[in-house]
Amino acid sequence: MLQGHFDIQLIAIVTAVACALPGVFLVLRRMTLMSDAISHAILPGIVLAFFLTESLSSPLLILAAAGTGVLTVLFVELLQRTKLVKEDAAIGLTFPALFSIGVILISRFAGNVHLDMDAVLLGELAYAPLNRLKAFGYDLGPVSLYVMGTILVINVVFILLFYKELKLATFDASLAAALGFAPTLIHYGLMALVSVTTVGAFDAVGSILVVALIAGPPATAYLMTDKLSRMLILSAIIGSVNAVSGYWLASIFDVSIAGAIATTMLLIFGLVFLTVPNRGLIAIARRRTRQKWEFAQTMLVIHLFNHEGLPEAEAESAVAHLHEHLSWNPDFTTQVVKYALNNRYVSRKETQLTLTEHGRAIAQQALVQ
């Protein structure tokens, strides 16, 4: 059983990394939903190939599905090119139609052959190690490990070879075109890569959860870094952590592995979304509070500065009446005064507030701005 644990985790990690790498470019190019479309639209391709080969593990199945995937991308782009349909609607039209054809084909003709709808849509990682590659009487390990391993290698090689081109086409497509980098070719290369990866991964995690592996780690990494190379590495790491933690969650609670991996993805994303420095929710909330106090404090020193040395100064700077002059509520005013006193922008003599040197400088600076 230990071997089984190990095999499943290895397959999960390889799948997650293979999905995360092209996913980085999809997230940056705002094309994440194309993976959703592809993963659903390959169904008719799989069904037709299955009718031809009558086996679910034939390599023809992967090829047929990948072909359907690229066809989906072509369809979506053809629809867009008519200028009658926007991109999102084109995606929303294409994949349900293809998927419907797949479902009808299955329920019409596949009743007497074994093709499980759930297996296609949801995958089952637990069974992945059972199908093993054997040669010369030796057990070489699970087939899906080899399939996903090959896809991972293809992805890594493609990204390494065309790193510069991918980067330029992603961040500045028109410059890439002007320099003769053929962004269209890069685009279709990437789409072919996504198709093959999706097809390979759906076997393990199913077509809906592939999307979690493709979009989740890169989007999480996107919150953490500004550098493409770092984002690729981070995505791979997040994907692996996610795969392993999801696996253990699943085995502790005895639930669907693919579902658990997607759930931990949500947790990891949520954690990063909350806590990442500068861009996280907590950081945003703290910045907003600080800005609120800073702004109120600046208002206070400007108010004091405006009336400084004038006859009404005494009335205007009385602590008890400040809230009337600034039209704040009294509690808030007390807190702002405390905040400004702490920062030594003002000093307090009995009931009067006076500006310190520093406070006066701040007020002058704020007024100039």
Partner 1 sequence: MENLSVLTHLDYTLMIVAIGAALLGTVSGALGTYAVLRRQSLLGDAISHAALPGIAIAFLLTGSKTPLILVLGAAIAGWLGTLLILSIVRLTRIKYDSALAIVLSTFFGFGLVLHTLIQRTGNANQAGLDTFLFGQAATILERDVLTIGLLGGVALIIMLVFWKELKLLVFDEGFAASIGFPTRALDILLTSLLVIAIVLGLQAVGAVLMSAMLVAPAVAARQWTNRLRLMVFLAACFGAFAGVIGTIISSTASRIPTGPTIVLCATVVVGISIAFAPNRGLVWERIRHQRNRRSLKTATDRLLK
Contacts with partner 1, residue ranges (CB under 8 A):
27, 30-33, 35-36, 40, 79, 82, 84-89, 91-93, 96-97, 99-101, 103-104, 107-108, 111, 117-118, 121-122, 208-212, 214-216, 218-219, 222-223, 250, 253-256, 258-263, 265-266, 269, 273, 279, 281, 284
- Identify which of 309, 299, 314, 316 has the alpha carbon closest to the alpha carbon of residue 367: 299
Rounded least distance, CB 270 to partner 1, Å: 9
Rounded least distance, CB 247 to partner 1, Å: 13
Comparing CB distances to partner 1, the nearer of 109 and 295 is 109
Rounded least distance, CB 226 to partner 1, Å: 10
Comparing CB distances to partner 1, the nearer of 97 and 241 is 97
Comparing CB distances to partner 1, the nearer of 82 and 369 is 82
Comparing CB distances to partner 1, the nearer of 193 and 258 is 258
| Whole-number Å distance between alpha carbons of 210 and 285 | 33
Q: What does 197-212 look like in DSSP terms, one character per residue?
A: HHHHHHHHH-TTTHHH
Rounded least distance, CB 100 to partner 1, Å: 3
Residue 71 tokens read as: 């066809």
Supply the DSSP symbol for 318: B
| Whole-number Å distance between alpha carbons of 225 and 229 | 10
Comparing CB distances to partner 1, the nearer of 161 and 284 is 284
Rounded least distance, CB 103 to partner 1, Å: 5
Supply the DSSP symbol for 352: E
Coil/strand/helix, residue 67: helix
**Where is 346: in which H helix or E strand?**
strand 346-349
Rounded least distance, CB 162 to partner 1, Å: 22
**Whether 98 contacts 72, CB under 8 Å:** yes
| Cα dihedral sign, 205-269-27-30 | positive
28-30-34-36 Cα dihedral, nearest 10 degrees: 90
Comparing CB distances to partner 1, the nearer of 97 and 133 is 97
Coil/strand/helix, residue 328: coil
Comparing CB distances to partner 1, the nearer of 193 and 362 is 193
Rounded least distance, CB 230 to partner 1, Å: 15
